[in-house]
C-alpha cells in the first residue's frame, strides 16, 4: 500500500520537526487581571476535594527531567493533556499534525498501531525537559537614563501566549501558556555607553525574547472573553536577542528553575487503551461517562480557579456550542450529530446505574469530536 510504505518514517521525521522550534502562530499579551503575589510551585499542590478524595491523589510525579524543549503548538498540547489529564483526541493527534490521509480504515489502524510507541516517546519528551523555552516578540522602549536600561514591551506581570489547538489535532478549546513572573524581567540594564553603541548598530528596536520557564499545572482558564486550555508556568530567565539572533543581554528573576519532576495526571490520556472509541463501545453510555469524567467532575479547575472560570460558560463560548460544532463539521453534519447526541443521552438515562443518571445530562455539554461523529 502506497501510504504504509512511508508511514513510520514519515511519522518520525515530521513529528521531530513538530517538536522542534516555536510556533509561528503564538501570540503573547498581558492577561486581563494581575496575578496573586509570588505564586509558587507549591500552589499547584494544594489539596482540593474531588469526588470524595484529595485532588492530589489524582496526580503522580513525572519522569526525571533532562535536555531542552522549544515550545510550539504541538508539544504544548502534549504537555497540557499529560499535566491536566483532559481526554485527548489520541488518533487525531497522531495523524493531523502530519497531514496523514488513509486509503481505508485498515491503513489508518495499521498506522496507529505501528507508530504508537514513537508517538508516546514524543509525549514523554514533552513532559521530561529540564529547560522549557518559548520565543516571544518584543520591543526595546526608549532608554531610561535614570534607571540605566531599556524597558521591554512584550513582557507583563503575567504574559499570556496563545496557540491554536488545530495544529496539534487536539479537539476542544485553544491552548495558552501563562508565564508568571515575566514582569520582573521587563527591564534590560545597560550602561549609557553600551546603549548608545547598541542603538547605532541596530536598525530596529524589535527583539526576540527567549523565555525559560518551569511548568506548574494545567487546566481551563478564562483568557479575555474565551476559555482556553492553559499551562501555568513560572518564568525565571529572559534572553534578549536581536532579530538576526545575536544576544543583547540576559535577565534573571529571583525564581529558581525547579529540578523536580513535573506533576502529571495519573490516568494517562495517551494510554493505548484510549485509542478505542467510547461512543461505539458495547456499553457506550458508561464508556463515555468514564472517558469524560475529567470534564463532568470539573477536574479542569486549577488552584487559581475563579468564579469567572465556569464550565457552562466555557461550553457556551467555544467548547461545544453550536458555532463550534458547525465550524468543525458543517451545518448539516452538526445537526445530525446533535440529534444523535440527544438520543444517546436518553439511552444513557435508561441504561446506567441510578447514581450515574444525573451525569448523563452533562453529555450535552461535552466537546464535539470526530470519534462521536463517526460513531453516532
Tell whether the model's pLDDT for residue 3 goes beyond 50. no
For 301-314, write each residue's pLDDT tens digit. Answer: 777 655 545 555 55
CB atoms within 10 A of CB 336: 14
- Average pLDDT value for residue range 273-277: 94
Tell whether the model's pLDDT for residue 101 goes beyond 60. yes
CB-based contact 321:315 (threshold 8 Å): yes
44 or 202: which leads in pLDDT: 202
Helices (H), 26-151: 73-84, 90-95, 105-126
CB atoms within 10 A of CB 245: 7
Query: Which pLDDT score is estimated for 218?
Result: 96
Distances (CA, A) of 124 to 11, 36, 78, 165, 357: 16, 31, 9, 19, 37
Strands 131-140, 68-70: pairing is parallel
pTM of the model: 0.82
Query: Which pLDDT score is estimated for 124?
Result: 97
For 280-294, write each residue's pLDDT tens digit. Answer: 999 999 999 999 999
Q: Categorize the per-residue pLDDT at 46 as very low, low, confident or very high, splitting at 50, 70 and 90.
A: very low
Query: Which pLDDT score is estimated for 32?
Result: 44
**What are the grid coordinates assigned to 84, written together?**
491536566
Go through the chain and tell me how many residues it has.
376
For 74-90, write each residue's pLDDT tens digit. Answer: 999 999 999 999 999 99
Whole-angstrom Cα distance, residue 315 to residue 320? 5
CB-based contact 97:74 (threshold 8 Å): yes
Q: Categorize the per-residue pLDDT at 131 as very low, low, confident or very high, splitting at 50, 70 and 90.
A: very high
- Average pLDDT value for residue range 310-328: 57
**What are the grid coordinates assigned to 78, written together?**
502534549
Tell whether the model's pLDDT for residue 36 goes beyond 50. no
Query: Which pLDDT score is estimated for 306?
Result: 59
* Residue 154: φ, ψ to 5°: 125, -10
Q: Which residue has the cell 456499553?
A: 283
Angle at CA of residue 319, ends 317 and 321, nearest 5°: 65
Tell whether the model's pLDDT for residue 322 goes beyond 70. no
319 or 174: which leads in pLDDT: 174
**What are the grid coordinates assigned to 370, written together?**
470526530
**Highest mean pLDDT pick, 15-24, 217-226, 245-254, 301-310:** 245-254
Q: Where are the domains of the chain?
A: 12-275, 276-376
Describe the crossing of helices 7-19 and 73-84 by its angle, rounded to 10 degrees. 90
Phi-psi label, residue 330: left if phi above 0, alpha if psi -120 to 50, beta otherwise: left
Amino acid at each position: 500500500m502506497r501510504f504504509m510504505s512511508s508511514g513510520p518514517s514519515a511519522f518520525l521525521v515530521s513529528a521531530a520537526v513538530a517538536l522542534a522550534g516555536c510556533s509561528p502562530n503564538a501570540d503573547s499579551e498581558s492577561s486581563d487581571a494581575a496575578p496573586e503575589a509570588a505564586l509558587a510551585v507549591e500552589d499547584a499542590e494544594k489539596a482540593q476535594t474531588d469526588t470524595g478524595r484529595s485532588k492530589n491523589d489524582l496526580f503522580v510525579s513525572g519522569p526525571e527531567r533532562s535536555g531542552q524543549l522549544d515550545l510550539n503548538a504541538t508539544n504544548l498540547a502534549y504537555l497540557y493533556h499529560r499535566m491536566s489529564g483532559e481526554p485527548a483526541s489520541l488518533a487525531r493527534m497522531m495523524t493531523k499534525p502530519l497531514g496523514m490521509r488513509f486509503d481505508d480504515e485498515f491503513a489508518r489502524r495499521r498506522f496507529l498501531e505501528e507508530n504508537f510507541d514513537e508517538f508516546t516517546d514524543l509525549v514523554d519528551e514533552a513532559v521530561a525537559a529540564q529547560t522549557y523555552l518559548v520565543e516571544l516578540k518584543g520591543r526595546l522602549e526608549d532608554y531610561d537614563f535614570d534607571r540605566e536600561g531599556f524597558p521591554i514591551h512584550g513582557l507583563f506581570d503575567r504574559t499570556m501566549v496563545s496557540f491554536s489547538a488545530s495544529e496539534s489535532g487536539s479537539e476542544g478549546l485553544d491552548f495558552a501558556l501563562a508565564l508568571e513572573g515575566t514582569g520582573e524581567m521587563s527591564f534590560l540594564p545597560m550602561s549609557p555607553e553600551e546603549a548608545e553603541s547598541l542603538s547605532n548598530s541596530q536598525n530596529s528596536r524589535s527583539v526576540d525574547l527567549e523565555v525559560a520557564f518551569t511548568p506548574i499545572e494545567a487546566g481551563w482558564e478564562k483568557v479575555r472573553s474565551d476559555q482556553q486550555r492553559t499551562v501555568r508556568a513560572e518564568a525565571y530567565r529572559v534572553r534578549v536577542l536581536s532579530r538576526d539572533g545575536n544576544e543583547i543581554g540576559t535577565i534573571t528573576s529571583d525564581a529558581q528553575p525547579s529540578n523536580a519532576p513535573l506533576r502529571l495526571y495519573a490516568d494517562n490520556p495517551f494510554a493505548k487503551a484510549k485509542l478505542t472509541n467510547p461512543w461505539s463501545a458495547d456499553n457506550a453510555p458508561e464508556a463515555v461517562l468514564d472517558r469524560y469524567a475529567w470534564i463532568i467532575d470539573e477536574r479542569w479547575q486549577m488552584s487559581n480557579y475563579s468564579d469567572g472560570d465556569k464550565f457552562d460558560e466555557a461550553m457556551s463560548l467555544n467548547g461545544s456550542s453550536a458555532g463550534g460544532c458547525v465550524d468543525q463539521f458543517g451545518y448539516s453534519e452538526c445537526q445530525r450529530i446533535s440529534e444523535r447526541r440527544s438520543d444517546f443521552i436518553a439511552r444513557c438515562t435508561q441504561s446506567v446505574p441510578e447514581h450515574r443518571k444525573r451525569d448523563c445530562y452533562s453529555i450535552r455539554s461535552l466537546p464535539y469530536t470526530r470519534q462521536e461523529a463517526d460513531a453516532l
